[in-house]
Amino acid sequence: MLKDRVGIVFGVANKRSIAWNIAQAWHHAGAKLAFTYQGERLRENVEQLSASLGAASPVFSCDVTRDEDIQAVFDQAAAHFGKIHLVLHSVAFAPREALGGRFIETSREAFRIAMDVSAYSLLGIARAAAPLMPEGGSILTLSYYGAEKVVPHYNVMGVAKAALEANVRYLAHDLGPQGVRVNAISAGPVNTLAARGIGDFGDMLKYHAEHAPLKRNVLGKELGDTGVYLASDMSSGVTGEVIYVDCGYNIMGM
């Protein structure tokens, strides 16, 4: 379904990463991929995972808070592939002390960092990607229910995800005339590196599974499948949208 499409994947840290689930699904659907990693610490992980696809995917360093890093990724992608069609943005960060305690205590600096890494970065990436998408394309990001409703302790990340979801709509408006679609998957909780940094995540997974209509948590494979749908022509009429892939949790009132 993605034959002859080229995609750039931001946000693989390890094999549990949501980005890795979606990248594998894109690969199996026939896309050619490049990966970026944040910092030397993650280089080897990402190189090994990329190599495991057996497709000689290039791997680039990128801290999304640095405009010059983002530009360098797309310069290298242009040199390697010419055109691209797909971008996956699966990146978020807030200082740990801001994820817990009272939201009202969030510092200006923690707010700035959460917004920069988790929301602004989509815009920076979209701006650098768009000139390489003359055939149109699909930009995909990851959100969470805390954007819309209060999830205790998600705090400033909820505010950043609300900004991210608004970014999706404004970018969809700007890039629509060029045939570039922009959408988000709002994923139910998944046990990744970013999630395990959070105390009581096990309890949260259990609560979520008990209260979701499907009575279980979402699988990485299911996020990958929706990722293929949003990347492919199957979703050609869909842009600016936030699609919940959360076993139905978000529809509940009680």
Q: Which residues bind to ligand NAD, rule: CB under 6 A?
A: 11-13, 17-19, 38, 42, 62-65, 90-93, 117, 142, 144, 187, 189-190, 192-195
C-alpha distances (whole Å) from 12 to each of 5, 18, 23, 91, 157 are 19, 7, 9, 9, 19
Give least dist CB 160 to ligand 0WE, A: 9
Structure tokens at 82: 């010419």
Distance CA 22, CA 12 (A): 10
144 catalytic residue (yes or no): yes
Work out what residue 17 binds among ligand NAD, ligand 0WE, none; the CB cut-off runs from 5 to 8 Å by kind.
ligand NAD
Residues ≥6 apart with Cβ < 8 Å to 54: none
C-alpha distances (whole Å) from 10 to each of 38, 104, 144, 208 are 9, 31, 17, 27
Contact 157, 114 (CB under 8 A): yes
Structure tokens at 113: 């960092």
- Strands 32-37 and 137-143, by their bridges, are unpaired
Work out what residue 18 binds among ligand 0WE, ligand NAD, none; the CB cut-off runs from 5 to 8 Å by kind.
ligand NAD
Give least dist CB 205 to ligand 0WE, A: 9
Phi, psi (rounded to 5 degrees) for 138: -140, 125
| CB nearer ligand 0WE, residue 137 or residue 146 | 146
Residues 99-118 that bind ligand 0WE (CB under 6 A): 99
Give least dist CB 177 to ligand NAD, A: 27
- Closest residue to ligand 0WE, judged by C-beta, is 197
Stretch 55-94: interaction string toward ligand 0WE, x if CB under 6 A: -------------------------------------xxx
Give least dist CB 207 to ligand NAD, A: 13
145 catalytic residue (yes or no): no
Residue 229 touching ligand 0WE (CB under 6 A): no
23 closest CA partner among 4, 41, 6, 40: 6
Stretch 149-188: interaction string toward ligand 0WE, x if CB under 6 A: --x-xx--x-------------------------------
Structure tokens at 140: 């995909």
**Which residues form the catalytic set?**
144, 154
